A = this chain, B = another copy of it.
Amino acid sequence: MALFDLPLEELRRYAPAVAEPADFDAFWRTTLAEAATRPVLLDVRPEPTDLRLVETWDVTFTGFGGDPVRAWYTRPAGLAGPLATVVEFPGYGRGRGLPHERLTWAVAGYAHLLMDCRGQSGQYGGGDTPDPGQGAAGGPWPVTWGILTPHDYHYRRLITDAARAVQAARALPGVAPDRVVVAGNSQGGGLALAVAGLLPDLAAVLSTAPFLCHLQRAIEITDAAPYGDIARYLAVNREAEEAVRRTLSYVDAVTFARRAVAPAHFGIGLRDTVCPPSTGFAAHNQYGAANGRPVPPERELHVYPFNQHEGGEAVHVRRQLRWLASVLADR
């Protein structure tokens, strides 16, 4: 797919007003408070692997509603002290996979907590966490589970899990609590922005090809899943449009991004039909705009003009590694 969204010059200044419910902050405050009533770590046990340079633990923490959520915690082998830690969230249709699938952050010297995505694994990647709440009224695919109300929506649970994953990381041995970074690609990039809007004390945010941004536009300009699955649901449930749009307004990563304070690093492919570039720019361009601070947070964006949803891949990872080292060095 060649260029199909706004031209780059327009994207650079694209800052749409995204629908923000009046009780947005209250909704999330309550939701996180409920989750916080439980101890965050349920289980941490060593996971044997065939890797010599790293050590891995199989972590279970309490996510939304106290549901058990799994994660891999991986560290450079034999390094005892507290480390800067990257909490990573997977893409749509994936879970935490196997412990040797995502080694970059540990090899770069970070502790790494890779959260599972409740109920989603099995489409593109494996995982071990079901979504006990998925039986609410809504559509048959994860992106539509419980979509008729914010209260029941799958992303209410998933975003809460993601925020809890940061809290779980801080409870793990060997994590430097003031040096926790959130990261993710696609859905993971959207979750990273959401957590950045919910938690005030992150060291950095790495978000590429972010999903969940500018949802009201996204469902109109692309047919590709998962946005397209919301449109497909509405094509059948023609009278649900208003309810769905309302639900989506509670999980829009642009609204979260506006509240964020941590330094942020973005990557966007201009030919990305899965998470169209205008939706990512909408988040980037307003990142921190409503955080109440006098100085905007540090923000860096790399654009990949010839790439689709894969974005910058290894080239971008190299940029992330350098940027993150420099940001953490400043702290």
- Bound: A37/B324 CA distance, A: 47
Q: Mark A99-132, 1 if CB is under 8 A from B, else 0.
A: 0110110111100000000011111111010111
- Whether the Cβ atoms of B138 and A130 lie closer than 8 Å is yes
Taking the closest CB of chain B, its distance from the CB of A3, in whole angstroms, is: 5
- Name A's interface SS: loop
Contact indicator A315/B121 (Cβ below 8 Å):
no
Chain A interface size, as a band, is: 35 or more
- Contact of A31 with B by CB under 8 A: no
B contact residues around A237 at 8 Å (CB): 122, 126
Do A315 and B119 have beta carbons less than 8 Å apart? Answer: no
**In the bound complex, CA of A97 to CA of B105 (Å):** 18
Interface string of A210-236 (1 = CB under 8 A from B): 000000000111110000100111111
In the complex, which residues of chain B have a beta carbon less than 8 angstroms from the beta carbon of A52?
Answer: 76, 107-109
- A98 interfacial by beta-carbon distance below 8 Å: yes
A139 at the interface (CB under 8 A from B): yes
A20 vs chain B, min Cβ distance (A): 22
Q: A321 on the interface (CB 8 Å rule)?
A: yes
Say whether B238 contacts A318, CB under 8 Å: no
Known contacts A108-B50, A321-B50, A241 near B306 by CB under 8 Å: yes
Chain B residues, Cβ within 8 Å of A131? 135
- In the bound complex, residues from chain B placing their C-beta under 8 Å from that of A177 are none
Q: Name 18 interchain pairs, CB-CB below 8 A, sorted by A.
A: A1-B223, A50-B318, A51-B321, A52-B108, A98-B317, A106-B107, A107-B107, A120-B140, A122-B138, A122-B139, A122-B233, A122-B237, A128-B137, A130-B135, A131-B135, A132-B135, A140-B142, A238-B306
Top-9 shortest CB links A-B? A122-B139, A52-B109, A50-B321, A234-B306, A132-B135, A235-B306, A98-B314, A134-B135, A53-B107
